[in-house]
């Protein structure tokens, strides 16, 4: 008890005072920590479809499964000589000294999750790996090498491991035999186009036919491909070759809807890295019906398009003629089939 004042005992000091001071000291130390530069291999791994996991199982059960998965991935990374830098929701980032060790860790992660589903629930993971100069500060790792590694992970589908050419060049001949060219992708904000490689972690996958990346400059599914159809007969695809589609009343638009409620240049759908966005530029707005049945009104804003659904320009679906609806469907056909 603190000393009494006017005969009334004063309250004891807050237990959080020292904690706050400690936190401030640690934050200041982190800011002042030196930045070190080294070379290394960075690995990103994420659980595929974690949002659907929460929706189907509920928060508590899904959280338990993801927690078990991250513990399993952490152990498998350590067994291959990796160090987990940090976990991020449904994934983690790990650091390895060599490309061989990183590939070994990634393959063991895929094999481990496949053979021993965390929490007894079958899930899939996707992995991206990059090698190059790294910046270290206060226990974290950052820089272009890290950003490109994260992008490789974002490009990967479930049960896939994607790596950069820098990783492939550093592999031993034995490990390199497990890698094949997959497709071209733009990295570093579109400034560079480079080959992305796929790691064949299943033994039977070594018998697959190698694709020619020049014949498939990019996969629609990897950069966010989408198929649009309207009037029940016309069809148009957004992909590597066509990154932008204009919807509107003007004859020069890619998709023309001759309705006075539709602006001349009404909306634009564009490919942005791995996603597709609808940007409304109209007076009356754009209505989007998602596969869940939810209807979204986009007015002078953007909406991420995923899965499948319908678009109505300028009119709510209740007032829109069926023949004016534009169907959209994310093209998820994989180029990695044998």
Q: Which domains, and CATH codes, for the chain?
A: 34-217 (3.30.70.1230), 221-330 (2.60.200.20)
Q: Return the pLDDT at 24.
A: 55
Rounded-to-integer distance, Cα 305 and Cα 206, Å: 35
Give the per-residue pLDDT at 336. 33
Q: What is the pLDDT of residue 162?
A: 93
The two beta strands, 226-230 and 326-330, are antiparallel
pLDDT the model gives residue 211: 52
In order of 282, 303, 316, the CA distances from 289 in angstroms are: 18, 12, 10
CB 239 within 8 A of CB 214: no
| Tens digits of pLDDT across the chain (338 residues) | 444 445 544 444 444 344 445 445 545 555 566 778 888 999 999 888 787 778 778 888 888 888 889 999 999 999 999 999 998 888 999 999 999 999 999 999 999 998 888 878 888 899 999 999 998 888 888 888 998 998 888 888 888 899 999 999 999 999 999 998 887 777 765 555 688 899 998 875 554 545 554 443 433 334 447 788 887 667 888 876 788 899 999 998 989 999 999 999 999 998 876 678 899 999 999 999 998 888 999 998 899 888 899 999 999 999 999 999 999 988 654 333 33
CA distance 105 to 82: 7
Q: What is the pLDDT of residue 298?
A: 94
């Amino acid at each position: 008890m603190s000393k009494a004042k006017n005969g009334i005992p004063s309250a004891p000091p807050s237990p959080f005072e020292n904690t706050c001071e400690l936190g401030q000291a640690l934050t200041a130390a982190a800011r002042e920590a030196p930045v070190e530069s080294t070379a290394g291999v960075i690995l990103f791994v994420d659980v595929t479809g974690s949002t659907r996991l929460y929706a189907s199982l509920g928060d508590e059960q899904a959280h338990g499964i993801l927690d078990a998965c991250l513990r399993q991935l952490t152990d498998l990374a350590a067994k291959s000589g990796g160090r987990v830098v940090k976990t991020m929701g449904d994934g983690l980032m790990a650091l390895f000294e060599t490309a061989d060790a990183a590939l070994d860790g990634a393959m063991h992660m895929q094999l481990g999750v496949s053979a021993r589903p965390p929490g007894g629930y079958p899930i899939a993971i996707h992995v991206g790996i990059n090698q190059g100069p790294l910046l270290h500060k206060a226990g974290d790792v950052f820089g272009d090498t890290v950003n490109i590694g994260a992008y490789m992970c974002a490009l990967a589908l479930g049960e896939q491991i994607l790596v950069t050419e820098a990783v492939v060049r550093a592999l031993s001949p034995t490990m390199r035999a497990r890698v094949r060219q997959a497709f071209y992708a733009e990295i570093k904000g579109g400034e560079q186009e480079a080959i992305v490689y796929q790691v064949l972690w299943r033994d039977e996958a070594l018998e697959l036919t190698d694709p020619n990346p020049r014949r498939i400059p990019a996969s629609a599914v990897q950069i966010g491909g989408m198929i649009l159809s309207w009037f029940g007969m016309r069809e148009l695809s957004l992909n590597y070759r066509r990154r932008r589609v204009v919807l509107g009343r003007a004859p020069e638009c890619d998709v023309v809807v001759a309705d006075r409620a539709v602006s001349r240049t009404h909306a634009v759908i564009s490919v942005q890295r791995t996603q597709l966005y609808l940007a409304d530029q109209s007076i009356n707005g754009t209505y989007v019906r998602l596969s869940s049945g939810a209807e979204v009104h986009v007015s002078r804003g953007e909406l991420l398009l995923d899965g499948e659904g319908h678009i109505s320009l300028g009119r709510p679906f209740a007032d829109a003629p069926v023949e004016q609806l534009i169907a959209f469907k994310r093209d998820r056909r994989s180029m990695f089939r044998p």
